[in-house]
Structure 1
């Protein structure tokens, strides 16, 4: 491992997807950790799980779930939790995360999954329900979760808490810290607020207690056609606006594990590594300045 990685004050990781399995196992170490979507490794045995176990021998691994649906009124199916617990025991992740959303419901008496991260109303009722779900999952897994803010393509009139306040109260009641996704704040700012991304990011992070944030996600998204919503498709390099927001987050929260997310139109491994290096350089510059 290079000295720049060993001596870094902040862990920088990338999301691992199937096309990069060979790269991560054969290339020199240029990142500090790997994050995977938990559900992609729920199968019993198989090549994917075998690769992840090999990766785990070289890197710390973060398990990022996308189907748990902690904000669902419907209870999370036990078979899902059993598979997640087994994967957790196999991999021993250093972080486990999910989203502040719902995914599970019922139709004609059948439990169904939405296939997407659906937004929740930020009310005390929803908060109480989500706290209960988070505590159940944490007790079952024997681990604390971190919860990510989401890109939401609708807003609820009944929401009387900001998302930042909702996540803060969730943290205070359950101990589940926050995974701060800077790009999701930017997407919501463009779609619903005044589009002043830097002001939206500053307002959001200033609402969060310094001790409440455990990880940062950085991503890019495609520019929409005129009149269309901006979609958080993770198909592009991190934007200049998100890099500026990252500097704000580092200044407030200090050195936190930071992940480069790229899920669609995947680039070469070298491009992901270059994004990770950019994050490391920015973090180093901000944190050195902060310490002086």
Structure 2
């Protein structure tokens, strides 16, 4: 039997989708298997208008999760106090069930890079990430979930494995973890390791949310497979199989379908959500 999580699961153990405004009417009229929604925080930091009005309406019907993509929690510089203040304001009025950020960096020397870049896993990086997680949790006054990144190159200076690094951040700060199964598959393919071995080392008891998304397939200069975490396609079968493996070990967890680019029509997105709901139903019946 899977072990019970040792952090509270604030979202329902059901399927959710990343919210896109073009799906608003469908979600109101016929959400189907979708029990919760996730938004990118940076899209809702303005002061009013239709986006916030629609979000308020949706929050009356669905559990909400806020996913930060621009804080650069692994960056060398101090966290931006204005960005932190906007995150606090959003959390205060929306009162989401969960809030998450990436184990990544996206700022350098005052410039913002439109990407979520992985980190070397060293003691100095660990200290910095823990300091930033503590600051973020103190600001938003809630336990956050920290997401594993997708990787394209390995760092020679790393002295921690990624699962051990995330386990230690959680132990020091009390944060939970967000397990992106597609990111595991992407990184394992790009860096040539077994994704199931990674999962066997991952602290699944800390996981409060699971993400699934699509990726693009390419090749590097040597002809080796190179996967890009694009969030613009359906989830591929090997990632669904890896999800089944995770759930068999972890038990049910809230599962999100991410589809941020080339956003499909509602029936296509809902079909992905229904498949995630089916995976949860299987593990629940087995348990």
| TM above 0.5 | yes
Counterpart of 1:18?
21
Gaps of 5+ in 1: 1-8, 195-199
1:269 deviation in Å?
0.8
Moved more, 25-34 or 124-133: 25-34
Counterpart of 1:31?
34
Gaps of 5+ in 2: 1-11
Q: CA RMSD in A?
A: 1.5
Checking the alignment, whether the CA contact within 8 Å between 1:76 and 1:104 is kept in structure 2 is no
Residue-by-residue CA offset, 1:144-172 (whole Å, 9 max, x unaligned) = 11011111222211011111111011011
* Aligned counterpart in structure 1 of residue 85 of structure 2, from 82, 89, 98: 82
Moved more, 39-48 or 27-36: 27-36
Counterpart of 1:231?
228
Higher RCO (C-alpha under 8 Å, 6+ residues apart) = 2
CA distance in 1, matches of 2:275, 2:139: 38
The within-5 A match list for 1:103-122 is 103-106=106-109, 111-122=110-121
CA distance in 1, matches of 2:204, 2:190: 27
Aligned partner of residue 178 in structure 1, secondary structure? strand
Counterpart of 1:4?
none
Structure 1 residues 223 and 139, CA, compared in 2 at 3 Å: closer, same or farther? Answer: same
- Provide TM-score, normalisation by structure 2: 0.91
* Aligned counterpart in structure 2 of residue 205 of structure 1, from 184, 195, 199: 199
Counterpart of 2:208?
214
CA distance in 1, matches of 2:209, 2:173: 17
CA distance in 1, matches of 2:196, 2:248: 11
- Provide TM-score, normalisation by structure 1: 0.89
Number of positions where the alignment pairs a residue of Structure 1 with one of Structure 2: 273
* Aligned counterpart in structure 2 of residue 55 of structure 1, from 55, 58, 67: 58
Counterpart of 1:6?
none
Counterpart of 1:197?
none
